[in-house]
Structure 1
Amino acid sequence: MYRAFALLGLSLCLTIAAPARAATDDTPSLGDISMRPSLSPDRASELAMTLPPAADIAEALGAGPASRQALGPKVMVRVDISSQTMTVLVHGKVVHEWKVSTAGRGYITPTGFWTPYRMHVMWRSRKYDNAPMPHSIFFHEGYAIHATPHIKRLGKPASHGCVRLHPDNAKILFALVRQYGPSVVRVSVEP
């Protein structure tokens, strides 16, 4: 997907930076999608109308017809540190909103965007006295979203940096990520 956007950017650069350049047979292309400049300087306002659809670029890269769906993540997990909440969106629609606990005093929960890279039905923290981390979804270095037995602390900062969820909610999220596959899930942690 990133490659498709990069190629789309290349198409934009070629079209904007060199509108008067003559197209040659050695101009890069993606199958039937030409990367040749397509606009003269006086027609630059028509740029948006001449770009191939992103799905066509993805299909030309060999991603197949399934790429014709939206290129964004299928599942978005948004953690809002300031409100201590998590919002889960599937295909852009909110399906869950839960209380969480992020880093307590002296610890940090990293902010940014990630794709989960590892999942465990049960994991034990090597760093914090073998503490149980049920339904762990690791998203950045050693940070994970996981269940906690400390449900009375949810809605307040209390963790060593991970994102804690009610055990029932962690199980639901784990199943959802497993169903869609981690590669189409994005975790967003916002301050």
Structure 2
Amino acid sequence: MRAAPLVVAAFAAGLAGAVMAAAAVKLEARVDLSDQLMTVRLEGETIATWPVSTARPGKVTPTGTFRPQALSPDHRSTLYDGAPMPWSIFFHGNYAIHGTDQVDRLGAPASAGCIRLAPENARILFNLVREVGMDAVRIVIQP
């Protein structure tokens, strides 16, 4: 009989923790696929808007809300002949936000699915993610 109150208390504590975790988003990188733009918000304030390149025709950039899964400052693609992917923020399997040397293609779909940024912007975002912690970051990709 005494277990029931403990289960209820544990559930309530877990629910409160989940609500607190959801409220703890400090950094949001929002990508608009139709406009090929990323808006970066730190603690609710817009701090940057940058052009991006996402999936070219025949490829897909996933949509939805994601958390960073891994950071790699000097990554090279294992799928595309070692192509440089500096300042990679992996968010969905092999999909990442990363710098590109094809800055002339930013603002238009050009990637195999990743979200490309100018290298200096990718570095800024990478350092922000590292500073606030991956659990406090949301990546939102909308059509």
Asked which structure has the greater CA Rg, the reply is: 1
Identify the TM-score tier after normalising by the shorter chain: 0.7 to 0.9
Which of structure 1's runs of 4+ aligned residues deviate more than 2 A?
Answer: 24-31
- Deviations for 1:129-181, whole angstroms, at most 9, x for unmatched residues? 11000000000010000000111110000001000000110000000000011
Match for 2:132: what amino acid?
Y
For 1:139, the equivalent position in structure 2 comes to 91
Among 73, 80, 103, the alignment partner of 1:151 is 103
1:100-151 per-residue CA deviation (whole Å, 9 max, x = no partner) reads 0001111111111111001101111111111000000000010000000111
Note the residue ranges of structure 1 that are not aligned, 5 or more in a row.
1-23, 36-53, 62-66
Structure 2 equivalent of residue 121 of structure 1 = 73
Query: What percent of counterpart residues are identical?
Result: 46
Q: CA RMSD in A?
A: 2.4
Aligned-pair distance for 1:72? 4.3
Q: Report the CA distance between 1:29 and its aligned residue.
A: 3.9
Equivalences for residues 72-91 of structure 1 within 5 A? 72-91=24-43
TM score, norm. by length of structure 1: 0.66
Structure 2 length as normaliser, TM-score? 0.87
| Aligned length, in residue pairs | 139
Greater relative contact order (CA < 8 Å, ≥ 6 in sequence): 2
Q: CA deviation at 1:184?
A: 1.1
Q: 1:173, 1:151 → 2: CA distance?
A: 16
Partner residue of 2:9?
Answer: 30
Greater fraction of residues in strand: 2
